[in-house]
Amino acid sequence: MRRVLNPALLALVAFMLVSTAACVDERIVYRDRDLTGDIPTGHEGFVGLTSQESNLTVCGNCHVSFQGEWEQTAHADAWATLQNSGHAQAFCENCHTVNQLGNLTEAAGGYATTGDARYHNVQCESCHGPGLAHVQSPGDDNIPLAPLAVGLDMTTGCGECHQGAHHPFVDEWAESGHGTALDYPAGRPECASCHSGEDALVAWGVRADFTEKEAVNQPGQHLAITCAVCHDPHSADNGGQLRFPVDVPNEEQNLCMKCHHKRGTPDMASQNRGPHSPEGPVLLGYGGWWPPNLQFGQTGDTATIAATHGSVANPRLCAGCHVNAYTATDDVTGAQIISTGHLFAATPCTVNGVPVPGDCAPAERTYRTCTDAGCHGSENVARSIEQVAELRIGSLATQLNTMLAQVPATEFNHNDGRYSTAEGARFNYQLAALFPGSTIHNPFLVEALLIASIQQVTNDYGIAPGPGVSLNRQLGQN
């Protein structure tokens, strides 16, 4: 039985509204034609498509720019993808259509209750929820907002579909550092732009509304770095629907480096502070404190000691090592396991061949990320290169630390208005010792910084390095 709904007749023709929401300058166009047509009984407020032929969502009649962007995304073809797979079954369908999955609605609706073709594909309402009331009379009281949160119980947001054995995105993400919001101290809003999802969006100029916007203003309610922080829910302009590219070697433009660059070089205003998420500047070759005696190469206007890992040899840069999907075979059960790379671990620990979160010895880690792109001949080669670099950097760091212990305490006075050699050398020691990733991110730079720091401490304080540590570069030349 089909019930004909009163068509959403709207008074104005082509009345346009321009707002500066999200990444697009939104154009909202009012329509005076019937947008919804017949909606089958049991819809629970989901309206779906106006036209299946042109894949025009009911929402897209008015939200013209969003419709244009969404059409370019994989979500817009999800039904065809399922059918073309050759093994579509009934239980596959809810994740490839509009229904209660992905939005705040719990009760079944849309495709789940009607099986109607108007709900094919992952449409606006998959995330925004049922929009009938809004479509009939758009107003402040009925705006269908999408969640930015990702419920760890998988009852809301992207994770309601992007989960499970075939695509465990949310399952892995929840175990990563991005999956939990750091409870930074109250009254430190300057921490928020990297440590909370909602404030990262504000910092990036995305001022859109989402369901939790009011709630997250309260202390202790911050959102983690959720899916829609890194991914643009609407636009496929960047690969993987990312908000910013990952292949641009620029800390202001690269998605990962936009957060991973707080203090890669010393901040003269806070002289006692060590490195803080220094990964971007280290990878790109200009991180650390540069003692006057350090010889350097030049990239444009910037002095750099670049490493292969931050070069065109590794075009996806951070993501090239930290975000790689692959399949593994469980050694015990023989099952094919898919890993999405959303643990964000470059060399994740494995149990029975399957990536797991946490820490472990190198022998228990997979180094596939180093071999899959054809960079290193085998996992064992990569593993042993890493160990050689770690030994070398470790011995230089220990040496420098021993020397710093002999420097008079007055040299570490951060209130004397002077950035001393000792303070700079300590910054470099911390860069090497407290951030094990630095050794992999840029072994050439870190070795050069430590050698130059040791030499500068000798020059300025007359403290000689102990015997047995070579001050010639061993890890490669610039």
As given in the structure block, the two tokens for residue 395 are: 């011995």
Report the C-alpha gap between 316 and 322 in whole angstroms.
10
Q: Which is nearer to ligand HEC, 42 or 138 (CB)?
A: 138
Interface with ligand HEC includes 309 (CB under 6 A)? yes
Q: Which is nearer to ligand HEC, 13 or 332 (CB)?
A: 13
Interface with ligand HEC includes 173 (CB under 6 A)? yes
Residue the block writes with tokens 């947008």: 35
Amino acid identity for residue 208 in this structure: A
Binding ligand HEC by CB under 6 A: which of 104, 170, 396, 425? 170
The Cα diameter of the chain in Å comes to 92
12 burial (CB, 10 Å; 0-12 / 13-18 / 19+) is: exposed
Stretch that binds ligand HEC, among 79-87, 293-301, 409-417, 463-471 (CB under 6 A): 79-87
Integer angstrom CA distances of residue 310 from 160, 202, 239, 374: 35, 28, 19, 16
Q: Which is nearer to ligand HEC, 291 or 320 (CB)?
A: 320
Instruction: Kindly state the number of chain residues that form the binding site for ligand HEC, as judged by CB under 6 A.
Output: 126
Residues with Cβ within 8 Å of residue 4, at least 6 apart in sequence? 38
Return left, alpha or beta for 287; rule: phi > 0 is left, psi -120 to 50 is alpha, else beta. Answer: beta
Interface with ligand HEC includes 382 (CB under 6 A)? no
Residue the block writes with tokens 């090239």: 320
The pattern of x and - marking residues 87 through 126 that bind ligand HEC according to CB under 6 A reads xxx--x--xx----xx-------------------x-xxx
Interface with ligand HEC includes 318 (CB under 6 A)? yes
Interface with ligand HEC includes 475 (CB under 6 A)? no
Residue 254 in contact with residue 280, Cβ under 8 Å? yes
Residue 280 in contact with residue 256, Cβ under 8 Å? yes
Q: Which is nearer to ligand HEC, 1 or 312 (CB)?
A: 312
Amino acid identity for residue 173 in this structure: W
Least CB distance to ligand HEC at residue 233 (A): 3
Report the C-alpha gap between 103 and 59 in whole angstroms.
16
Binding ligand HEC by CB under 6 A: which of 339, 441, 454, 461? 441
Integer angstrom CA distances of residue 383 from 308, 369, 370, 377: 16, 11, 9, 11
The pattern of x and - marking residues 384 through 413 that bind ligand HEC according to CB under 6 A reads ------------------------------
Report the C-alpha gap between 223 and 219 in whole angstroms.
11
Report the C-alpha gap between 386 and 439 in whole angstroms.
8
Nearest one of 195, 202, 198, 162 to 180, comparing CA atoms? 195
Interface with ligand HEC includes 49 (CB under 6 A)? no
Interface with ligand HEC includes 176 (CB under 6 A)? yes
Least CB distance to ligand HEC at residue 14 (A): 12
Least CB distance to ligand HEC at residue 433 (A): 10
Which 9-28 residues touch ligand HEC, going by CB under 6 A? 10, 19, 21-22, 26, 28
Stretch that binds ligand HEC, among 130-138, 265-273, 413-421, 470-478 (CB under 6 A): 130-138
Binding ligand HEC by CB under 6 A: which of 43, 128, 392, 426? 128
Amino acid identity for residue 441 in this structure: H
As given in the structure block, the two tokens for residue 15 are: 């009345």
As given in the structure block, the two tokens for residue 146 are: 């999408």
Interface with ligand HEC includes 222 (CB under 6 A)? no
Least CB distance to ligand HEC at residue 54 (A): 13
Residues with Cβ within 8 Å of residue 251, at least 6 apart in sequence? 257, 258, 261, 280, 281, 284
Binding ligand HEC by CB under 6 A: which of 323, 349, 425, 446? 323
Which 190-219 residues touch ligand HEC, going by CB under 6 A? 190-191, 193-195, 200, 206, 208-210
Interface with ligand HEC includes 305 (CB under 6 A)? no
Stretch that binds ligand HEC, among 57-65, 293-301, 400-408, 463-471 (CB under 6 A): 57-65
Report the C-alpha gap between 260 and 264 in whole angstroms.
9
The pattern of x and - marking residues 241 through 280 that bind ligand HEC according to CB under 6 A reads xx---x--------xxxxxx-x-------------xx-xx
Binding ligand HEC by CB under 6 A: which of 131, 249, 291, 355? 131
Binding ligand HEC by CB under 6 A: which of 56, 152, 184, 381? 184
Which 344-373 residues touch ligand HEC, going by CB under 6 A? 344, 346-347
Report the C-alpha gap between 398 and 429 in whole angstroms.
8
Binding ligand HEC by CB under 6 A: which of 39, 43, 44, 82? 82
Cβ atoms < 10 Å from Cβ of 29: 16
Binding ligand HEC by CB under 6 A: which of 158, 354, 445, 446? 158
The sign of the torsion formed by the CA atoms of 325, 282, 416, 466 equals: positive
